[in-house]
Structure 1
């Protein structure tokens, strides 16, 4: 299935939900902040006296603890394919931000859920309702691509506390998704979607010594004939990443939370596709005090152990401040502080494709 991935000529990314709203950071060519999108493209009410567009903040995006991105892939001569990668934590932020960014939800035909955590799955039903309401005529069904191992419940038991302090909100049930027009597609192995332009991984190999999952993660299980109970589940084995291969640029990787470890993700992508890494996007999950010792080897790998190194790293969502500082120190302008509402355009390069090399990974 991996060999069916097609190289695309154009890739557009819209960050629909993220913890951060970022309006002012310097961005390279191809990246656009939210405010210019509204002022130049969406139209604003104008002050009747000055004639200047008014920044109507109630129509702008909001941040939320979660992640969601619209991935638009295009091969020259074919229709663009729109794929939604995760949906944020709840119904409000995704609905507001879809309206703010004027996302054509009826054109999104694939939804990829990276893993069963509600800060990524919480907006699924809201999104499907918006699709149904987007047109008076029936819309094309949306394939909802999920790992089959949906948990009954997941909880948080920080090692320093020694007990379960909270339970995540329930993920949508398969039946609920189907009732709203979603077509549930269960996969635990790598495959392609969006007419072969987006790869969704299977189980991510855990080979890096310091990337040991999410400490304190627990899962509720109910074995037949026994009472339900909480069991440790630090490795979150249902987590998957997605990627797109852009002509002349290489792989653009979407790793929503990196519970498997971003180094494990990158190594798996390079091993499977033998293509350079153009961009790494998403949560690196290195924010909490008990994970800070993972920052140095992670940054060292991304900055020095891959040749050629990634062109850009976008640490978002659950990455944390410290790893952003460390990545900027090593990568300079190659580390970008992206957030909700930012759009990215990656154009393929026919001439650049001739110079593509297989990356070398130092173990």
Structure 2
């Protein structure tokens, strides 16, 4: 059973490498560490961009420790081919320190940085953990008929040689059982019903795919603090995702939930009140909604749960230690 195998860790650090917002002067505290914007940080980096950049994408580094064991994994790779590499340089992150790459799902805003990451890898293969649907072609058809391609990148043969492909729909334990990838998430709420304008190409045919089965999260259990749940876009629904993490681990205590909650736009804004009501019942100690959560949902969450709310920002590192 997963609940018996997942270790309680002494510490987890989650660094937001890529997200939709950046503010180099945002303040932190003992748990929330912000990007260092001291006087020795130039306004323009060597490549002509800001030292740290934001884009409509997501990527996070997750570092865990338990006794003398430690490990590092990468969740998602952002939207642009070079954005994640730019921010990794600014944050002093070495791609070759990663022991695995996890795809929360296969959409372009979480996968397009993957080829660039692979090119920076050394000679050893790195595991890539993903759901069987994650590498399929995807698109969104807007109400006006406009089609937006959100397919993942196609890896070259040379790039594929650097990857150990781990295709699974069920949960996966990584780095000495300190990190849990949820696998396919059970849909149990009556209001988180998916993305009705989303399509997937199967057997050369485009099919309406509102469910997006490949959506998965990462779970870490911090001793005495509870679960830390990191999401990509959370197409499963943030409440479904938390409930599934609790069920997998047989642990109701939630320390923190962060990442994209996918509550932006007219389709999803109507479920914000129901989502917040359920989040209040779950009562996580900390919430840091980002990426596709949307302006309206982020502000309503901040107002409804001010003690738990943490403003999101590229370059932020959250540190949760065992009690």
Of 165, 187, 202, 1:221 maps to 202
Relative to structure 1, is the Cα distance of residues 242 and 53 closer, same or farther in structure 2, using a 3 angstrom cutoff?
Answer: closer
Alignment partner, residue 84 of structure 2: 94
CA distance in 2: counterparts of 1:194 and 1:294, whole angstroms: 36
CA distance in 1: counterparts of 2:238 and 2:269, whole angstroms: 14
Alignment partner, residue 267 of structure 2: 290
**Shift of the alpha carbon at 1:256?**
0.6
Alignment partner, residue 105 of structure 2: 115
Scaled by the length of structure 2, the TM-score of the pair is: 0.93
Map residues 182-197 of structure 1 onto 2, 5 A cutoff: 182-197=163-178
What residue ranges of structure 2 are gaps of 5+ in the alignment? none
CA distance in 2: counterparts of 1:172 and 1:117, whole angstroms: 12
1:86 touches 1:113 (CA, 8 Å); kept in 2?
yes
CA distance in 2: counterparts of 1:164 and 1:282, whole angstroms: 28
**Shift of the alpha carbon at 1:170?**
3.7
**Paired residues, number:** 317
Residue 278 of structure 1 pairs with residue 255 of structure 2: yes
1:116 touches 1:171 (CA, 8 Å); kept in 2?
no
Of 329, 334, 337, 2:308 maps to 334
1:16 touches 1:69 (CA, 8 Å); kept in 2?
yes
Residue 65 of structure 1 pairs with residue 56 of structure 2: yes
**Shift of the alpha carbon at 1:22?**
2.8
Residue 258 of structure 1 pairs with residue 234 of structure 2: yes
- Secondary structure of the residue aligned to 1:35 is coil
**Shift of the alpha carbon at 1:116?**
0.9
Relative to structure 1, is the Cα distance of residues 109 and 231 closer, same or farther in structure 2, using a 3 angstrom cutoff?
Answer: same
Q: Deviations over 1:30-58 (max 9, x none)?
A: 2111125xx4xxxxxxxxxxxx6353332
Of 202, 211, 234, 2:210 maps to 234
**Shift of the alpha carbon at 1:338?**
1.4
Alignment partner, residue 166 of structure 1: 148
CA distance in 2: counterparts of 1:150 and 1:34, whole angstroms: 31
Superposed CA RMSD: 1.8
Relative to structure 1, is the Cα distance of residues 258 and 142 closer, same or farther in structure 2, using a 3 angstrom cutoff?
Answer: same
CA distance in 2: counterparts of 1:190 and 1:170, whole angstroms: 22
1:122 touches 1:172 (CA, 8 Å); kept in 2?
no
- Structure number with larger C-alpha Rg: 1
Of 111, 127, 139, 1:155 maps to 139
- Secondary structure of the residue aligned to 2:99 is strand
CA distance in 1: counterparts of 2:220 and 2:159, whole angstroms: 26
Relative to structure 1, is the Cα distance of residues 167 and 92 closer, same or farther in structure 2, using a 3 angstrom cutoff?
Answer: same
**Which of the pair is proportionally richer in helix?**
1
Relative to structure 1, is the Cα distance of residues 169 and 271 closer, same or farther in structure 2, using a 3 angstrom cutoff?
Answer: closer
Alignment partner, residue 127 of structure 1: 117
Of 316, 329, 332, 2:290 maps to 316
1:22 touches 1:338 (CA, 8 Å); kept in 2?
no
CA distance in 1: counterparts of 2:157 and 2:227, whole angstroms: 34
CA distance in 1: counterparts of 2:26 and 2:76, whole angstroms: 25
2:6 touches 2:249 (CA, 8 Å); kept in 1?
no
Alignment partner, residue 300 of structure 1: 277
CA distance in 2: counterparts of 1:232 and 1:252, whole angstroms: 32
2:16 touches 2:61 (CA, 8 Å); kept in 1?
yes
Map residues 48-63 of structure 1 onto 2, 5 A cutoff: 53=40, 55-58=42-45, 60-63=51-54
- Secondary structure of the residue aligned to 1:114 is coil
**Shift of the alpha carbon at 1:25?**
4.1
